Structure 1
Amino acid sequence: MAATSMAAALAASLPAPAAAPAPVAPSYEAIPASMAKVVDIEAEIPLTCVQLDAMVVTKILKHARESNSTTAHGLLLGLDLDGTLEVSNSFPLPHHVSDEDDKSAKSVARYQASMLRSLKEVQADDSVVGFYQAITLGAFFNQTLLDTQAIHQEKLRHGGIIIVHDLSQTARGNASFRAFRLTSAFLDAYKKNNFSAASLINHRLTFSSILEEVALKVRTNPLLSSFLGVLTEPTRSEATDAPPAAAATSALPPSYGVLDLGTSGVTRNLEQIIEGIDNYRTEEGNLAYLLRQIARERSKADNHVAKRQEENATRIAQGLAPLPEEDVNRLFKIPPEPSRLESMLLLGQVDAYAKTLSSTASTGLVKMYAAKASFGN
């Protein structure tokens, strides 16, 4: 009793606990009308343009030039803003040449996660907006590219994009960069995993309607432009006895293109076209063989059904019970209709090679006429 009264007395002597302040309800301000289109939280503004930073362009060029293979690829990082996908950074992904696909895929995934985590630690852009792929002679249709982009368009904001860099154009002095994404018709057929002839007709799919091109522009850093401008300005030589031709020099002298007739790339281009046509003919032969097998099995199934119907009609006429209907699919293994995707991709490659050959040949023809005219004078 004494202990209880002492505790009560001590409690009474302590100051009363301050009442907890009532939580203030959060207040939200409406987004101003001027920023309503910029702050696109729900990704409702359609993507109309891709903007590549100059640093990203140089990184892709460097990776494609130094890579041992012609399949150099990597991830693009950035942000979509007001319908423009701004690509501000990129990093290459390792290329594995091995038969262990699962092990290579896990290794690439670990490397990708490590790079994104490191970029986040230094407060750099770590939002994946797509990937880039180096190609040769304009041909970029392949199954791996379509599978990767299909995953990106399902998981990334605005679906992500593919930046295609043509090495053969860069070798001729033209930095070729194009942006693509998959069309909705192809995505619908891809999700259903149905590329039969009927599906291609219903979706109106050809090799030219697999990808849609997005407008692309390159953003140059003003500081880089100023630096290059300084390098190209002529400066006086410090040598007092320098000849007049070398008295004014620059750290970055102007470059002049050599009159290259471009005949070396034509041979390689023709070889790729012939190889692509051979692959297409082989694929068409395989499809024709499978279709003949399907027609043969279906003919057997139809004959079996017709024979059973005829037997049942005879038994009914004789007053006997008809034989039970059997499952034709269990008796005859009718193969499913083969996919036409591979042949469609091969046609796309042949078309890309042909367009590159047309461009190269026309340019070379003009150069040859110019060379002939100059030699004639």
Structure 2
Amino acid sequence: MAATSMAAALAASLPVPSATAAAPAPTYEAIPASMAKVIDIEADIPLASVQLDALVVTKIIKHAREAPSSTAHGLLLGLDLDGILEVSNSFPLPQHVGDEDDKSSKSSARHQASMLRSLKEVQADDSVIGFYQATTLGAFFNQALVDTQAIHQDKLRHGGIVIVHDLSQTARGNASFHAYRLTAAFLDAYKKTNFSTTSLMSHRLTFSSILEEVPLKIRTNPLLSAFLGQLAEPSKDSPSSATIGGSPTSGLGPSFSVLDLGTGGVTRNLEQIVEAVDNYRTEEGNLSYMSRQIARERAKAENYVAKRKEENAGRVAQGLAPLPEEDVSRLFKIPAEPSRLESLLLLGQIDAYGKSLAGSASMGLVKMYAANSGSDV
């Protein structure tokens, strides 16, 4: 889905202040001192961490596995209490492949409004506090994520958060969830729509300073913990439980995924790195071409100004009136400096692919050494 489509759909579904007639100011009772630290009316308590419910974890994993592509995304629902963003529920957003941006954004907006209305009718949490995004090999830097998060930080309390779920890590048995939000410096440059070289230097922006990570913890209720504990315990009475060496196994069954050397994943990771580097070189080539165009137009304008000054100096020496100064911007169309945001995002993708490759390659190297030593026995 295009960046404008997803951002427009979220902007249409989020609450917008209605322009109605001014009503008489209501009166409120003072909040008791014992509740003042818990109920953060003015959002004075800074966001310290994100608490993800286990139900939301299973929903995100299920949606990411069943989605036709690796870009599954959805909304997060919950509440902000005492600086902790509690995510209690979520629901997926539809994916429109091949549709027009206008139609897909309207369809997504209708779906979101219908889901939020249904949740409110059943007395469930219907407050949007962010969104989640599935990714592969840790490369989640893209224009759609930045645009969507910028809308959330502009309209939601405490700016909302984005939770990134890495499918490649989950396939290896490690459920990867991280919470992020845009930094204040990047958000300031984004609102000004200025990602020129001067703006990047003044805001001290690099690909690593676009997002800041928020501490995240997963909460499980006692019932779920008891269920998982029961599954992990060996059962002698169950007729379906197989025995290995005379000892009963657990209800989960054996898993041999850790024995996979993971060579296929390394190959795919290298292909992604090569593709990202090619995209970055293409983008840098376009920026270089635009910079040369700007330099040529500026040189023409400077030569014209210098020639006019020299001509006016000669006229003054002859006792003639100098020629009027003309607006150089009208005579020479000097294009604006191109945005370097895409270059930053591509550098972030290359960095993420590199870190994923380092982790998978080191793990695969240890497994291959172990397999080689075991084959000699």
SS of the residue corresponding to residue 235 of structure 1 reads coil
Query: Does 1:297 find its partner at 2:301?
Result: no
Alignment of 1:37-48 (within 5 A): 37-48=37-48
Alignment of 1:237-276 (within 5 A): 237=237, 248=248, 250-253=250-253, 255=255, 257-276=257-276
Task: Say if 1:232 and 1:253, in contact at 8 Å, map to a contact too.
Answer: no
| Distance of 2:29 and 2:244 partners within structure 1 | 71
Output the amino acid matched with 1:162.
V
Structure 1 residues 369 and 251: alpha-carbon distance in aligned structure 2, compared to 1, 3 A threshold = closer
1:77-113 CA-to-partner distances (Å, cap 9, x unmatched) read: 0001111100000000001112511111111111101
| Distance of 1:225 and 1:278 partners within structure 2 | 47
SS of the residue corresponding to residue 95 of structure 2 reads coil
Alignment of 1:321-336 (within 5 A): 321-336=321-336
| Distance of 2:238 and 2:183 partners within structure 1 | 61
Shift of 1:258: 3.8
1:259-286 CA-to-partner distances (Å, cap 9, x unmatched) read: 1111110010000101111110110000
Query: Does 1:284 find its partner at 2:308?
Result: no
Task: Say if 2:243 and 2:249, in contact at 8 Å, map to a contact too.
Answer: no
Task: Say if 1:75 and 1:90, in contact at 8 Å, map to a contact too.
Answer: yes
Task: Say if 2:172 and 2:258, in contact at 8 Å, map to a contact too.
Answer: no
User: For residue 32 of structure 1, what is the aligned residue in structure 2?
Assistant: 33
User: For residue 128 of structure 1, what is the aligned residue in structure 2?
Assistant: 128
1:335-363 CA-to-partner distances (Å, cap 9, x unmatched) read: 00000110111111001000000011111
| Distance of 1:148 and 1:229 partners within structure 2 | 39
User: For residue 156 of structure 2, what is the aligned residue in structure 1?
Assistant: 156
User: For residue 7 of structure 1, what is the aligned residue in structure 2?
Assistant: none
Alignment of 1:284-363 (within 5 A): 284-363=284-363
Shift of 1:309: 0.8
Shift of 1:247: 8.5
Query: Does 1:172 find its partner at 2:172?
Result: yes
| Distance of 1:43 and 1:67 partners within structure 2 | 36
Task: Say if 1:237 and 1:246, in contact at 8 Å, map to a contact too.
Answer: no
User: For residue 222 of structure 2, what is the aligned residue in structure 1?
Assistant: 222
Output the amino acid matched with 1:153.
Q
Query: Which structure has the larger Rg?
Result: 1
Shift of 1:244: 9.2
Structure 1 residues 26 and 216: alpha-carbon distance in aligned structure 2, compared to 1, 3 A threshold = closer
Output the amino acid matched with 1:171.
A
Query: Does 1:58 find its partner at 2:90?
Result: no
Output the amino acid matched with 2:201.
I
| Distance of 1:326 and 1:138 partners within structure 2 | 54
Structure 1 residues 335 and 94: alpha-carbon distance in aligned structure 2, compared to 1, 3 A threshold = same
Output the amino acid matched with 1:278.
D
| Distance of 2:138 and 2:238 partners within structure 1 | 48
Output the amino acid matched with 2:33.
P
User: For residue 199 of structure 2, what is the aligned residue in structure 1?
Assistant: 199
Structure 1 residue runs of 4+, over 6 Å off?
Answer: 242-247
Structure 1 residues 268 and 321: alpha-carbon distance in aligned structure 2, compared to 1, 3 A threshold = same
| Distance of 1:330 and 1:225 partners within structure 2 | 71
Output the amino acid matched with 1:77.
L
1:24-55 CA-to-partner distances (Å, cap 9, x unmatched) read: x988354234x321111111111111111000
Structure 1 residues 340 and 364: alpha-carbon distance in aligned structure 2, compared to 1, 3 A threshold = same
User: For residue 146 of structure 1, what is the aligned residue in structure 2?
Assistant: 146
User: For residue 22 of structure 2, what is the aligned residue in structure 1?
Assistant: none
| Distance of 1:38 and 1:277 partners within structure 2 | 48
With structure 2 as the length reference, what TM-score do the two structures score?
0.89
Deviates more, 1:253-262 or 1:138-147: 253-262
| Distance of 2:370 and 2:335 partners within structure 1 | 59
SS of the residue corresponding to residue 124 of structure 1 reads coil
Structure 1 residues 30 and 179: alpha-carbon distance in aligned structure 2, compared to 1, 3 A threshold = closer
User: For residue 6 of structure 2, what is the aligned residue in structure 1?
Assistant: none
| Distance of 2:187 and 2:176 partners within structure 1 | 26
| Distance of 1:132 and 1:27 partners within structure 2 | 36
What runs of 5+ residues in structure 1 fail to find an aligned partner? 1-24
SS of the residue corresponding to residue 120 of structure 1 reads helix
| Distance of 2:244 and 2:54 partners within structure 1 | 36
